[in-house]
Amino acid sequence: MMIIMKTDATKEEVANVIKRIEFYGLGAHLSEGSERTVIGAIGDGRPVQQELFLHMPGVDRVLPISRPYKLASREFKPENTIIPINGIRSGSDQVLIIAGPCSVENRSQMMETAYAVKEAGAHALRGGAFKPRTSPYSFQGLGEEGLKILAEARDATGLPVVTEVMAPEQVALVVKYADVLQIGARNMQNFPLLHAVGESQKPALLKRGMMATVEELLMAAEYILSHGNRQVLLCERGIRTFETSTRNTTDINAIPVLKSQTHLPVILDPSHSTGKWDYVASIARAGIAAGADGLIVEVHCNPGEALSDGGQSLKPEKFADLVCQVRAIAEAIGRTVNVEGCL
C-alpha cells in the first residue's frame, strides 16, 4: 500500500508512519514529492487493515497497490480454468448454454421445459427449488420436492442440473441432486454460504450481486477457491444503476474486464440483466460478441403463467432462435456453440 501524507505533514508524523509500517513486519519506502511525501509499504499488506493509518496524524489517504484477491487472479494462474459440463469445456472456445425456468413449479412444467430446452440446444438445465423472493407473500419454491423433479428431468434428458443453494445448511441436501451449485446475487456476500460451497466438490456458478463491483465478485470467488473448490464459474447478471427502462443494467464491460483479470469462466445471464424478454436475445448476442464463455437463460413454456420472473422468460421457440443467433456470433469470432439444426 501507499500512504499519502498531507501537504503540511511534519517529519515526526512521517517517522511515526514508518514506525507503524515496520511494526507490521513490512518495509517502508519514502518518496518525497514536490507537494507531499508518499510512503510505500513493501511486503504482503493484505492482512493489514489499511484504513488504520487514517487515524495517524499527517496522513491524508491510503491507496492499495496489490489486488486483494490472489487465487482468482490471472497473475496467479495465467491459463484459463476449464470446467467440463456435459461435454462442453467451459472456459475454452466452446460456449456453454444453460436454460430453464426460473422456478420449478411442478413436475409437468419442469419436464416439458427440460425437453424443450434440450431440443433447442441447451447444454444444461436451470431451475430453482429454493427461491429468494423479495416478498414474503410470493411463491417460495418447492424445496426438496423441486430438487427431486430436477433430478428426474436430468435423468430423462441427460442435461446436468444447475440450481440455487440459499443457506449453508442446505448445501448437503442440494449437493445430492445438483450438478452445479448456484449462488444467487443476493447471497454473493453470504460468507458462511461461500465457505460451505467452497468445501463441496461441485462446480459453483457464482452470480454477481447487483450492488457488487467486479473486485468484490472476485473476492467472493476467492472465498470459494480458498476453501478448496477450484471450479467456479462467474456470472454477470446486471447491476443496479439510476436507469429504469430495464430492470438492471447489463455491465457488458465486466466481460472483458473479468476475462483479463481472472482465469475463471464468465457466464452472462441476459434474462436478469434486462428483465424483459424482448431484449434477451439482443443482449445474449452482445455477451458472446464481447467474449463471454456462456449464457444462462430463463425459458418457460408458458411465460404468461410462470410463478416467478415470467416477464423475462422466453418461450422455447424464441430460445431456439437465440441459440442459432448466438452460434452465428460465436463462429464470427472463432468460437463454437455445439448445437444442431440451425440453418
Nearest by Cα to 188 from 179, 197, 180? 197
Q: How far is the CB of 35 from a second copy (least distance, A)?
A: 6
Q: Which part of the chain contacts a second copy (CB under 8 A), choosing from 66-74, 86-94, 171-179, 335-343? A: 66-74
Q: Tell me if 318 contacts a second copy by CB under 8 A.
A: no
Separation CA 338–CA 307 (nearest Å): 31
Q: How far is the CB of 91 from a second copy (least distance, A)?
A: 17
Q: Tell me if 143 contacts a second copy by CB under 8 A.
A: no
Q: Give the β-pairing of 59-63 and 2-5.
A: antiparallel
How many binding residues for a second copy (CB under 8 A)?
A: 115
Q: Tell me if 271 contacts a second copy by CB under 8 A.
A: no
Residue burial 150-177, b: 16+ Cβ < 10 Å; e: rest: bbebbeebebbbbbbbbebebbeebbeb
Q: How far is the CB of 240 from a second copy (least distance, A)?
A: 5
Separation CA 330–CA 292 (nearest Å): 10
Nearest by Cα to 124 from 36, 199, 233? 233
Q: How far is the CB of 88 from a second copy (least distance, A)?
A: 21
Instruction: Out of 66, 106, 108, 336, point to the residue binding a second copy (CB under 8 A).
Output: 66
Q: Tell me if 54 contacts a second copy by CB under 8 A.
A: yes
Amino acid at 318: K
**What are the cell numbers at 270?**
441476459
Q: Tell me if 328 contacts a second copy by CB under 8 A.
A: yes
Instruction: Out of 22, 93, 119, 169, point to the residue binding a second copy (CB under 8 A).
Output: 169
Instruction: Out of 51, 79, 155, 340, point to the residue binding a second copy (CB under 8 A).
Output: 51
SS3 sequence of 268-286: ECHHHHHCCHHHHHHHHHH
Instruction: Out of 288, 295, 299, 301, point to the residue binding a second copy (CB under 8 A).
Output: 288
Instruction: Out of 19, 25, 63, 172, point to the residue binding a second copy (CB under 8 A).
Output: 63
Instruction: Out of 18, 175, 257, 342, point to the residue binding a second copy (CB under 8 A).
Output: 257
Report DSSP letters for 158-175, one per residue: ---EEEE--SGGGHHHHH
Separation CA 68–CA 74 (nearest Å): 13
Please count the other Cβ atoms lying within 10 Å of the Cβ belonging to residue 6.
14
Q: Tell me if 319 contacts a second copy by CB under 8 A.
A: no
Q: Tell me if 304 contacts a second copy by CB under 8 A.
A: yes
Nearest by Cα to 265 from 319, 224, 212, 206? 206
Mapped onto helix, strand or coil, the DSSP state of residue 60 is: strand
Q: 39 or 159, CB closer to a second copy?
A: 39
- Looking at residue 88, the DSSP 8-state letter turns out to be E
Integer angstrom CA distances of residue 212 from 11, 59, 201, 232, 326: 40, 29, 26, 17, 27
Q: 72 or 96, CB closer to a second copy?
A: 72
Q: How far is the CB of 156 from a second copy (least distance, A)?
A: 27
Give the per-residue contact string, 217-256, with a second copy (x = CB under 8 A; - = no).
Answer: --xx-xx--xx-----------xxxxxxxx--xxxxxxxx
Instruction: Out of 269, 277, 316, 320, point to the residue binding a second copy (CB under 8 A).
Output: 277
Q: Which part of the chain contacts a second copy (CB under 8 A), choosing from 36-44, 84-92, 119-127, 335-343? A: 36-44
Per CB under 8 A, contacts with a second copy among 187-216 are 187, 189-193, 209-211, 213-216
